[in-house]
């Protein structure tokens, strides 16, 4: 959603609405705005749509057909650390909305429920409905406002799996798994796929960080490992193949090569020294003769 481009009149009405909600005398507050009990907090999955229900009535009113009323309706989105965002306005018969926002019923109507479509996580917040009504003679009949909390949940995005360590017999490695996006935060579960199926639990599994610690590796621990990221609205997974090798590690091989080179160097030096010594002894013998 993006903010409406309000004219000076719209901005003035917005200020008046917010002021009326706190300054209107109780004696003149004939209008009552209603929301269903127990539905002041709603949770919806990202991408879905939701209706924020609201309607108004007048205390002690006796129905006498459809009354002629001059209705003004505004819906605002309040988010912590952000400016108040007007998402819909119905003023003097003119409706202005943001994309994906609409009223459920055609105006004028006493049902002022708001419909939100294509929800995204950033649409979470407190939605305030403000209603002001005048009669056909322009006399104010009251003002009221109500707030509904909306929490947009996000299923885990596909996680990424990676290996920390070198998988050799006798060593330790860690399999890591992390989803880049999830609301609420994802929990993680590691398991090994058939034919050697295995499900892992704490302490080798950290369900919060998504890590699996495998210690003292053996070749029988080779196989496909699957990580599942899940929260209350969905799940996703990744997998990786672990191949435990029996050969020496790179450090051992490098050490053996270096050791061999040093040994060859020492041997070559000894041969050279022996040849020089033999030559010196031979020259000394010739001098004596």
pLDDT at 62 over 50: yes
The pLDDT tens digits of the residues spanning 109-120 come to 999 999 999 999
Strand spans (E) along the chain: 31-34, 41-45, 50-52, 55-58, 69-78, 85-91, 94-97, 101-103, 114-116, 125-135, 140-153, 160-164, 173-178, 187-192, 198-199, 205-206, 211-214, 223-231, 234-242
Q: Please report, rounded to a whole number, the percentage of residues in the chain having pLDDT higher than 90.
A: 66
Instruction: Express as a percent the part of the chain with pLDDT over 70.
Output: 73
**CB-based contacts of 244: which residues, under 8 Å, 6+ apart?**
167, 168, 169, 217, 218, 219, 221, 222
In this predicted structure, the answer to whether residue 137 has a pLDDT above a threshold of 90 is: no
Architecture of the domain made up of 8-153: Sandwich (2.60)
Residue spans in the chain of domains classed CATH 2.60.40.10: 8-153, 160-242
Contact 90, 103 (CB under 8 A): yes
Q: How confident is the model at residue 269 (pLDDT cuts 50, 70, 90)?
A: low
The CATH code belonging to domain 160-242 is 2.60.40.10
């Amino acid at each position: 959603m993006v903010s409406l481009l309000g004219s000076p009149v719209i901005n003035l009405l917005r200020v008046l609405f917010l002021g009326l909600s706190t300054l209107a005398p109780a004696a003149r507050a004939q209008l009552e705005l209603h929301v269903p009990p127990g539905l002041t907090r709603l949770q919806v999955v990202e991408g879905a749509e939701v209706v924020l229900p609201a309607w108004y009535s007048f205390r002690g009113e006796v129905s006498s057909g459809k009354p002629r009323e001059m209705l003004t309706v505004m819906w605002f989105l309040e988010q912590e650390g952000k400016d108040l965002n007007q998402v819909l306005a119905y003023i003097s018969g003119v409706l202005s909305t943001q994309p994906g926002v609409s009223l459920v019923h055609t105006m004028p109507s006493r049902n002022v429920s708001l419909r939100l479509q294509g929800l995204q996580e950033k649409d979470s917040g407190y939605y305030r409905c403000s209603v002001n009504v005048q009669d056909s003679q322009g006399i104010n009949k009251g003002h009221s406002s109500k707030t509904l909390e909306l929490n947009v949940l996000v299923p885990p995005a596909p996680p990424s799996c990676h290996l920390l360590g070198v998988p050799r017999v006798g060593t330790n490695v860690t399999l890591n798994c992390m989803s880049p996006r999830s609301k609420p935060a994802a929990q993680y579960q590691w398991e090994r796929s058939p034919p050697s199926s295995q499900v892992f639990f704490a302490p080798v599994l950290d369900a919060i960080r998504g890590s699996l610690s495998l210690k003292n590796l053996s070749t029988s621990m080779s196989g496909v490992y699957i990580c599942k990221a899940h929260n209350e609205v969905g799940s996703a997974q990744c997998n990786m193949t672990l191949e435990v090798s029996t050969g020496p590690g790179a450090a051992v091989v490098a050490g053996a090569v270096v050791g061999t080179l040093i040994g060859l160097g020492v041997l070559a030096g000894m041969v050279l020294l022996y040849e020089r010594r033999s030559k010196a002894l031979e020259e000394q013998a010739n001098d004596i003769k």
